[in-house]
Amino acid sequence: MNYPALAGRTAVVTGAASGMGAATARLLAAHGANVALLARREDRLKQLAADLEPTAAGRLLVAPVDVTDQASVDAGAALVRAELGRVDLVVNAAGVMLPNPIDDGRVDEWTRMIDTNVTGALRMIHAFTADLVATAAAGGTADLVNISSIGAHTLFPNYAVYGATKAALTFLSQSLRTELGPRDVRVTNVEPGLTETELGNHIDNATLGNDGQLGDMFAAIGALAADEVADIVGYVASRPRHVNLRQIVVQPTRQA
């Protein structure tokens, strides 16, 4: 689809090194937005920026940021403002999915998911809330888009902690509308179902990963493309400023 309303906007996209984050960055850049690409893997960000440069109508900024590190987030936010100015669109797409039985006691995985999926999103929200509020106060369109998951409310065995982190992000989005909505900042929570990303590559349990349970789901159901989720972000952010699509659940047709 064509989203002319995105032209000239200034966006920050976390998790831009791959998957839904990279796809969202591509879409925003293609429609004329200035886009700050945030992720840990600087080499991947530079490659994405090089791929986008020939057709991007707006400016692109590579900003290596680890959302689990406050100093890294602070430095990244300062770089974005210095290079691109005030941000009016924040897309929290950074995430990690590490399923395992709860009785395995994988504190390392629990901590990583909580730090990335919940606290990392909070760090980014705090870093740019003032920008969003100032944009809205000046009459502009301001958006916070959080990429959650249907795991926030759909139960899968061995995904308890992952689902809990996504439920927290979904609830956070709902709650933030009570704080930011009255100041004309839109908050949207997007919950994708089964989607082709690199999340499955992080799973170290062979029975649950791409060659096990997750792979069986892909084979039986089929999956969304990351670009299809990005298209939803583009649609959300291009609505008239008084229209807030607060919650969108998107999944493959065959996924119950």
Domain that holds residue 145: 4-250
Domain contains 97? yes
pLDDT bin (cut points 50, 70, 90) of residue 184 is very high
CA 163 to CA 113: how far, in whole Å? 10
- Considering all CA atoms of the chain, what is the largest pairwise distance in Å, rounded to the nearest integer? 53
* Mean pLDDT of the 3-8 span: 97
- Based on DSSP, count helices (H) and strands (E) in the chain, helices before strands: 8, 7
Whether residue 226 contacts residue 19, with contact meaning beta carbons closer than 8 Å, is answered with yes
Which CATH number do you get for residue 92?
A: 3.40.50.720
* Mean pLDDT of the 40-44 span: 96
Domain contains 255? no
CA 98 to CA 161: how far, in whole Å? 8
Which residue bears the tokens 């602070």? Answer: 74
Number of domains in the chain: 1
Domain contains 256? no
Q: Which residues are catalytic?
A: 162
pLDDT bin (cut points 50, 70, 90) of residue 13 is very high
Q: Which of 24-33, 156-165, 198-207, 231-240 bottoms out in mean pLDDT, i.e. has the lowest?
A: 198-207
pLDDT, averaged across the chain: 94
Domain contains 135? yes
Domain contains 18? yes
Whether residue 116 contacts residue 95, with contact meaning beta carbons closer than 8 Å, is answered with yes
* DSSP helix/strand/coil, 13: strand
Structure token digits, residue 31: 């429609």
* Mean pLDDT of the 28-42 span: 97
Whether residue 162 contacts residue 106, with contact meaning beta carbons closer than 8 Å, is answered with no
* Rg (alpha carbons) of the chain, rounded to whole number: 17
CA 34 to CA 198: how far, in whole Å? 25
Domain contains 90? yes
As a residue count, the chain comes to 256
Question: If 0-12 CB within 10 Å is exposed, 13-18 middle and 19+ buried, where does residue 115 land?
Answer: middle
Which residue bears the tokens 């509308």? Answer: 177
**Which letter does DSSP use for residue 191 in this model?**
E
What tens digit of pLDDT does each residue of 195-251 get?
987 665 667 766 776 766 777 777 888 899 999 999 999 999 999 999 999 999 999
